[in-house]
Copies of this chain bind each other. A is one copy, B any other.
Amino acid sequence: MTAKPPRVVTRADVARLAGVSTAVVSYVVNDGPRPVAAETAARVREAIELLGYRPNPSARALKLGTTGVLGLVVPDSSNPFFAELGLEVERAATARGLALLMASSNSDIDLESRLLADLMGRQVDGLLVAAAAGPQRLTGPGIRRSQAPVIYLDCARPVEAHSTFSSDSEAGARALVDHLLSVHGHGTVALVMGNHSQPWPDGRELGWQGALDDAGAPGAPLVRAPFDRRGGYEGGLRLLSVPHRPSAVFASSDLQGVGLLRAAHELGVSVPDELAIVAYDGTQESEYCWPPLTCARQRVSEMAEAAVKIIVDAEQPVHRVFDVDVIIRRSCGCPTTAQSVASVQTSLAAPRPAE
């Protein structure tokens, strides 16, 4: 509609202006693979500057087969846990010059597998997946095409040919529940558990049960509800509306803990005096709700860093279980003013699975 179409400047323009070949431009842009005379290089850089040349990443990707882009798929990127995870992954990626393609599956298995296929199809250099449905969904078309590593970020079992990370949720849950039992003297502890959809038992549930069993505590109510705030709220309403309501409850996510808190407040149940609450995840939100939640915190940034490193350094697949930190705040009944933190030692608590 206006004047001259300002054709985008290409490597050939730079070469022409600098009076060199395109190869040389490539060498100075990429700082290799062949050496370039200092003076020539300076001339090229000047030309680049002058023309405002930027390499075309598509061309580069086409040639190299590598995009400099990572993919991340989570069930819900607005859940603070995944938001924080995403932020850390993005940091780790940016620090290495990579960009991050983010996708949320809304916990929908089919959407999740479509997103995975789409990202793979976009030639990401690596895919990080906090899978709603466990790791089995690798099979669609589009997966074949790429050799890009796929890392499962919330996967308690090793998977052939993939890196699998998980937090030691069992140890974390056990420590939390045990704290309620032995320090605060609760007879038993109820559980609000999210809809874990992976093909093996959830560590949080295992840890909860284990702590109860170890203490010889009687069976306690378990309510299943979504991992979000509303799930915790409604689960809490159910849990607290019975004649003999529990005196302590473990929520399988921060968000559920927050919902639980709301339910307690609405029902006029005082926390922690009449009801102790502990939660799993340890996002910032758990620190600022009221009362602040005693929780087991996942080492999100460590996981993010490790995952990106595996991809960038093309490391062999590993199965890693990350320690979890128990953070004592007020919701359990501890009188702390300054919070205290203790790391839960995985190695002591979790025997190697014999797979």
Residue numbers of A with Cβ under 8 A of B are 8-9, 49, 52, 54-59, 61-62, 67-69, 76-78, 80, 83-84, 86-87, 90-91, 94, 99-104, 115, 118-119, 121-123, 141-142, 144-146, 229, 233, 258-259, 261-262, 265, 284-285, 287-292
Q: How far is the CA of A78 from the CA of B83 in the complex (A)?
A: 5
Task: Report chain B residues within 8 Å CB of A77.
Answer: 83, 86-87, 90
A267 to B: closest C-beta gap in Å: 12
Task: Name A87's contact: one of B78, B146, B292 (CB within 8 Å).
Answer: B78
Contact of A62 among B59, B259, B290, B291 (CB under 8 A): B59
Contact of A122 (CB < 8 Å), options: B49, B57, B121? B57
- Known: A90-B104, A288-B233. Is A62-B52 also a contact (CB below 8 A)? no
Looking at A115, A229, A288, A289, the one whose CB has the most chain B CB atoms below 10 A away is A288
Question: Which residue of chain B has its CB nearest to the CB of A121?
Answer: B54
11 further A-B contacts with Cβ under 8 Å, apart from A77-B87, A229-B284, are A52-B145, A57-B121, A58-B61, A76-B87, A77-B90, A78-B84, A80-B80, A90-B102, A99-B103, A99-B119, A261-B288
A290 near B288 (CB under 8 angstroms)? no
Contacts of A290 in B (CB 8 A): 261-262, 265, 289-290
Say whether B141 contacts A52, CB under 8 Å: yes
Name the CB-closest residue of B to A140.
Answer: B52
Q: In the complex, what residues of B have CB within 8 A of residue A8's CB?
A: 145-146
Known: A80-B83, A87-B76, A142-B54. A288 touches B121 (CB 8 A): no
Picked from B52, B69, B87, the residue with its CB within 8 Å of the CB of A144 is B52
- A333-B262 Cα distance, complex, nearest whole Å: 17
Chain B residues with Cβ under 8 A from A146's Cβ?
8
Name 9 A/B residue pairs within 8 A (Cβ), A-sorted. A8-B145, A52-B142, A56-B62, A57-B121, A58-B59, A78-B83, A80-B83, A259-B288, A262-B290
Give the complex CA separation of A67 and B259 in angstroms: 41
Protomer copies: 2
Q: Write the nearest CB–CB distance from A22 to chain B, whole angstroms.
A: 16
- Greatest chain B CB density within 10 A among A76, A78, A145, A285 is at A78
Q: How far is B58's CA from A61's CA once the two chains are assembled, in angstroms? A: 6
Q: Which residue of B lies closest to A144 (CB)?
A: B52
Q: Which residues of B contact A258 (CB under 8 A)?
A: 285, 288-289
Give complex CA distance A68, B121 in Å: 12
Q: How far is the CB of A82 from chain B (nearest CB, A)?
A: 8
Q: What is the minimal beta-carbon distance from A59 to any residue of chain B, in angstroms?
A: 5
Q: Which of B49, B84, B123, B261 is within 8 Å of A56, CB to CB?
A: B123
Closest chain B residue, CB of each to CB of A93:
B103
Nearest CB on B from A72, distance (A): 9
Set B104, B122, B287: member contacting A99, Cβ < 8 A: B122
On whether the beta carbons of B80 and A99 are closer than 8 Å, the reply is no
> Is the Cβ of A102 less than 8 Å from the Cβ of B86?
yes
Across-interface contacts of A76 in B (CB, < 8 A): 87
By a CB distance below 8 angstroms, the chain B residues around A56 are: 62, 123
The interface residues of chain B lying within 8 Å CB-to-CB of A122 are 57, 68-69, 99
Partner of A288, one of B103, B104, B229: B229
The answer to whether B99 and A118 touch across the interface, beta carbons within 8 angstroms, is yes
